[in-house]
Structure 1
Amino acid sequence: MKSIVGCVACFAALLFAGCAAAPKQAVYVSTSGDGQVVVYDLDNASGRLTLKQRVDVGKKVGPITLSSDRRFAYAAVRGERAVAALAVDDDGTLTLLDKTGIDTNAAYISLDRTEQWMLTADYGGGKVGVYRLGDNHQVKPQPIQVVTTDRNAHAIYTDVSNRFAFVPHTGPSAIYQFQFDDQAGRLTPNDPPVVIAPNRAGPRHYHYHPVLNVVYFINELDSTITAYHFDSQRGTLAEFQNVSTLPADFTAKNTCAQIHMTPDGRFLYGSNRGHDSIAAFAVDPATGELSPIGRFATEKRPRGFSLDATGRWLFAAGQDTGRLAVYRIDPQTGTLTRTATYDVGPDPTWVQLMTLP
């Protein structure tokens, strides 16, 4: 275990060693209200954003996922039941290549680790899908597989081995566990096929720890985060901790949205809609257990947020205000300090960082 702690410490030192070696990055924000993806250039030293481009993508554009070579981006166009493929230029600007109609209203999209397949979660339809990517990097319209699950399928992506995937559902408050065959592009229910979340919590999104066999799920309905041990051989989950994202004295309505972790695995963040904050937690490097750091005020209804590749900056969009707030992450404590706020556009629902080629 000492070696794990040492590796994480070394990684942290490299991440925060200085901005001179930090990669160039772009920030993408889906503004569902006007169907655009807004592109910003990020100054790694100051966190300052410079508007580069506004790209018309389609009605109710939402979730974005990226290719590992940083040459392509994909966006779910929920109002058109489609996925847009976009080329990424060296400066992060985007060119719309194609929009493919698919048999799903995708609340979440991801690429498997081979990048032959796109995985989709259909919130309204209660199903997940697998689609092939063509040689032109565009999504083929005919699904390889569609699996009916249950109400409100909210996310799907594979583990580092590419053998397993989870699908949290807020409706039945359940996590569906799948095996994934990356040769055939097919999902098979694992054993057991479903994990019931505690207290009708409503699991929504999740994040794998970068080193430990731990997965964290943020629960929309009861404003908690649940930590699970991940059996990397069987692809199954076992709960070991449940923590609130809210202060004890907060009694008004709140729902959680997204969850992200710094690349070194030291700090975990989740968004509160109602309390309108980002909840921050320190992560034990040996066990993965969470300890609360605090809650940091955001724009109203922070549905979408993300972190940059260095773990120095956090970006949170207020869905009700159309503004994007930038926060500096303290590398020692994980606390957040707001440094700037930008008018981004109506109904921002997704924030994505891209390390440029």
Structure 2
Amino acid sequence: MLAAVTASTAAAVPLFAATSAHAAPARSNDLLYLGTWGRSQVHAVRFDPVHGTMTPLGSMAEVSSNWVAVHPTRPVLYVAAGQQGGTIRVFHIDDASGSLRQTGEVETQVAPGADGGLSYIGLNEDADTLLVADFSTGSAVTVPVGRQGGLGAVASRVHGTGSGPHPRQTGPHPHHVVVDPSRGFALIADFGADRVFVHDYDRATHRMSAGTPEEPRAYATAAGSGPRRLAFHPSGRTVYLLNELTADIQVLRWDPRVGTLTPRQLLTTNAPGHTGTTSAAELAVSHDGRHVYTSNRGDNALVVFSVDPRTGLLTEAQRLPCGGVTPWSFTLHPEGRWLFVANEASSTVDLFRVDPRSGRLTDTGTSVAVPNPDCISVRSSRGTAGATRS
């Protein structure tokens, strides 16, 4: 049945849309760029944040797109490839039409890795470094970003160590890289090693230190948990860690003086009585730090947690269907009033309204068809990019 759904949506015909796909949207509306799992396409959708409508624009680039990221202030899109070589392509965005023009590319792998390629790319808060997780080679990379958004040569590369008991954990597999708010450390969620590796980060040179293989600075998760996503609370003292294979979320205390993590809380994202596949996928913190959002692919659900303002600890506040099948990722709109879900197996992008006070989500029923979407990044008409805060 899923194969039939995927085939029927390959042409990106809208399931629900407030405007015709052939209409000329207002220039002031935002652009969503979507990577597609196994489709080798980057799609675009025009979004009206006032009325909450989405208009599909179709494929804008025929390239492998495991992950995409929009520059926060420049009309630039970065696209991470899934094929060997670890290629990151740079595109100029035409805001009027949404079209893309490639302006450069960088290969991040010294030796080709296995199939799977890059699992994440994202910019640090200064927007001067691209952070890269290479699932296939077990390495994480930093690449300098110029003032106009162009990429320089690879500045640093670090390799994880270790493995886990799951068949997919035969070696290190970085899944996410973030720089902490102090800008002194880079943290890597390693799916294969069941570790969060912590490296010194030099803001001036864009480099992560290699550390010492004998004593790597790391936080160990439970065996077979598969760390996937990290997100800092705005306070800078709390880190949330989402584990894919066990589908749980951990609250960790962060000490920016020495770069250490200490466990404080562990909560499941699975529904009560859950059976079958267990797979958590995406994580985000609201800009005000009052709510944490996760997606669960095993339950096809979104889970909202409220944050204790004094402690950073979590309480489950809401659990609801994701609007489709396999919520691979989601993205909060920069204004915080909308959440876009990339439902990969049902080939839909679904729109949810965010209540600014309670943080609760409401499915708007608005959805557009995009073949196997795996990630979403926002080019805002106000000149700021929206992406999962992580």
TM-score interval for Structure 1 and Structure 2 normalised by the shorter chain: 0.7 to 0.9
**Paired residue for 1:211, among 235, 244, 248?**
235
Pair 1:187–1:50, CA change in 2 (3 A): same
Matched residue, 1:159: 180
Report what 2:360 is aligned to: 335
Q: CA deviation at 1:55?
A: 1.0
Cα displacement (A) at 1:306? 0.8
Measured against aligned partners, the alpha-carbon deviations of 1:226-285 in whole angstroms (never above 9, x if no partner) come to 011111222221111111101221122120111012211111111111211111111111
Alpha carbons 2:37, 2:344 under 8 Å: kept: no
- SS of match in other structure, 1:154: strand
Distance in structure 1 (CA, Å) of the matches to 2:39 and 2:337: 30
Provide the residue aligned with 1:240 in structure 2.
Answer: 264
Quote the offset at 1:314 in angstroms. Answer: 1.0
- Please give the alpha-carbon distance, in whole angstroms, between the structure 1 residues aligned to 2:159 and 2:184: 20
The answer to which structure has the higher strand fraction is: 1
Answering whether residue 80 of structure 2 is matched by residue 76 of structure 1, we say yes
1:213-292 aligned within 5 A: 213-292=237-316
2:49 aligned partner, one-letter code: N
Of 308, 312, 318, the residue aligned with 2:343 is: 318
Among residues 56, 64, 68, which one is paired with 2:68 in the alignment?
A: 64
* SS of 1:83 mapped into structure 2: strand
* 3-state secondary structure, aligned to 1:156: strand
After superposition, the Cα gap between the structure-2 partners of 1:319 and 1:345, relative to the gap in structure 1 and judged at 3 Å, is same
Using the alignment, how far apart are the partners of 2:51 and 2:286 within structure 1? 18
Give SS of 2:245's match: coil
Matches within 5 A, 1:1-357: 25-52=30-57, 54-59=59-64, 61-79=65-83, 81-91=86-96, 93=98, 94-103=100-109, 105-133=117-145, 137-140=149-152, 142-150=153-161, 151-188=172-209, 189=211, 193-198=217-222, 200-298=224-322, 299-356=324-381, 357=383
Displacement of 1:144 after TM fit?
2.6
Question: Scaled by the length of structure 1, what TM-score is found?
Answer: 0.86
Paired residues in the alignment total 333
Query: C-alpha deviations, 1:98-127, integer Å up to 9, x for none?
Result: 233331732111233444432211111111
The one-letter code matched in structure 2 to 1:281 is F
* Structure 1: distance between partners of 2:360 and 2:282: 18
Alignment check: 8 A CA contact 1:259 1:268 kept: yes
- Verify the 8 A CA contact 1:34 1:345 in the aligned structure 2: no
The answer on whether the counterparts of 1:70 and 1:354 sit within 8 Å (CA) in structure 2 is: no
Partners of 1:92 and 1:203 lie apart in 2 by: 38
Structure 1: how far apart are the matches of 2:97 and 2:233?
A: 27
Do 1:281 and 1:293's aligned partners in 2 also have CA atoms closer than 8 Å? yes
Secondary structure at the counterpart of residue 83 of structure 2: helix
Aligned with 2:174: secondary structure?
coil
Identity of aligned residues (%): 26
Residue 153 of structure 1: how far off its partner (Å) = 0.7
Q: Is the 8 A contact 1:39 1:92 kept in 2?
A: no
How far has the Cα of 1:135 moved from its partner?
6.6
Match of 1:6 in 2: none
The one-letter code of the counterpart of 2:134 is D
Shift of 1:212: 4.6
Decide which moves more: 326-335 or 111-120: 111-120
Contact in 2 for aligned 1:223/1:246 (Cα 8 Å): yes
Tell me, in whole angstroms, the C-alpha distance in 2 between the residues paired with 1:220 and 1:91. 38
Residues 40-89 of structure 1, C-alpha deviations (whole Å, 9 max, x = no match): 22222332112245311412x02122323232221101225311111233
Please say if residues 223 and 272 of structure 1, whose CA atoms lie closer than 8 Å, have aligned partners that are also in contact.
yes
Question: What one-letter code is carried by the residue in structure 2 that aligns with 1:43?
Answer: D
Range moving further from structure 2, 301-310 or 231-240: 231-240
Cα RMSD between the aligned structures?
A: 2.3
The residue aligned with 2:388 is: none
- Name the stretch that deviates more: 179-188 or 221-230: 179-188
Between the aligned partners of 2:254 and 2:246, the Cα distance in structure 1 is 22
Q: 1:134 to 1:329 in 2, by over 3 A?
A: closer
**Counterpart AA for 2:220:** I
In the alignment, structure 1 segments of 5+ residues that lack a partner are 1-22
Are the equivalent residues in 2 in contact too, given 1:33–1:348 (CA < 8 A)? no
> Aligned partners of 2:361, 2:342: CA distance in 1, in Å?
15
TM-score, normalization by structure 2: 0.79
Q: Structure 2 unaligned runs (5+)?
A: 1-27, 162-171, 384-390
